[in-house]
Amino acid sequence: MAKQLTVKFERMLQSQGFGSRRYCRQLIESGRVSVNGSKQTDPQRELVSENLQFTVDGTRWQYRDKVYLLLHKPIDYECSRNPQHYPSVLSLLPPQLQERGVQCVGRLDADTTGLLLLTDDGPWLHQLTHPKHHVPKRYLITLKHPCDESQLQALHEGVLLHGETEPCRAKNLEVRGERLLAMSIEQGKYHQVKRMLAAAGNRVEALHREQFGKLTLGDLAPGEWCYLDDAQTTLAEALE
């Protein structure tokens, strides 16, 4: 049987984004934290991290060594800790998750909506964003002009973007309306979808990411988020 990992109470609380170790110690000593339904006031107590649940001021949390989040990004939010013109998507998360230093897995423009992943797991973030892993992203695109056959053929065969040496090809092209198109890409170049449509002779009026790997938004409304384990999935299956 594998040895169970233990962690000191105050360090556990700090790792979950509840502030400095000193502040976490004060929370515990003042009786504001319960562990697995029982109030605990010793900051140095050793806790078993597996299946650890705790409440702070009546709000229930589950210990997570790393967090993996799925968020339905609304329009007019920036994927940045230091936004310039609009609020940060991080403002849609609880302060504890912001404190943990979660980062966006890639970025969506302020005027782009849809599926956004966030994590504090650096290697996992790198795995998803590195070009060699070819994780597909699927977008729903509202066009300014009707999409004709020549444009579809150009997207399928590949268009050369300014400053690039290799053409970018769309995968799984699907016409959903006269000015509505769905397609997948595996790269993550700057403004790639917008540039591809411009190179094909059209213009993007609205852009929505509806899928990342095998992950979809489900019934999440704009601005809502969930833990990926709450979505009853595993990362390996969702992103294979």
Which of the residues are catalytic?
Answer: 109
How do strand 112-119 and strand 204-212 relate by DSSP bridges? parallel
Rounded Cα gap, residues 155 and 172, in angstroms: 10
Check: CB of residue 125 under 8 Å from CB of residue 103: yes
Rounded Cα gap, residues 96 and 19, in angstroms: 8
Q: How far apart are the first and last CA of the chain?
A: 29
**Three-state secondary structure call for residue 10:** helix
DSSP 81-150: SS-SSS-BGGGGS-HHHHHTT-EESS---TTEEEEEEEES-HHHHHHHHSGGG---EEEEEEESS---HH
Query: Cβ contacts of residue 223 below 8 Å, gap of 6+?
Result: 72, 74, 92
Check: CB of residue 168 under 8 Å from CB of residue 189: yes
**Three-state secondary structure call for residue 14:** helix
Residue 5 gets which letter from DSSP?
A: P
How do strand 225-227 and strand 215-216 relate by DSSP bridges? unpaired
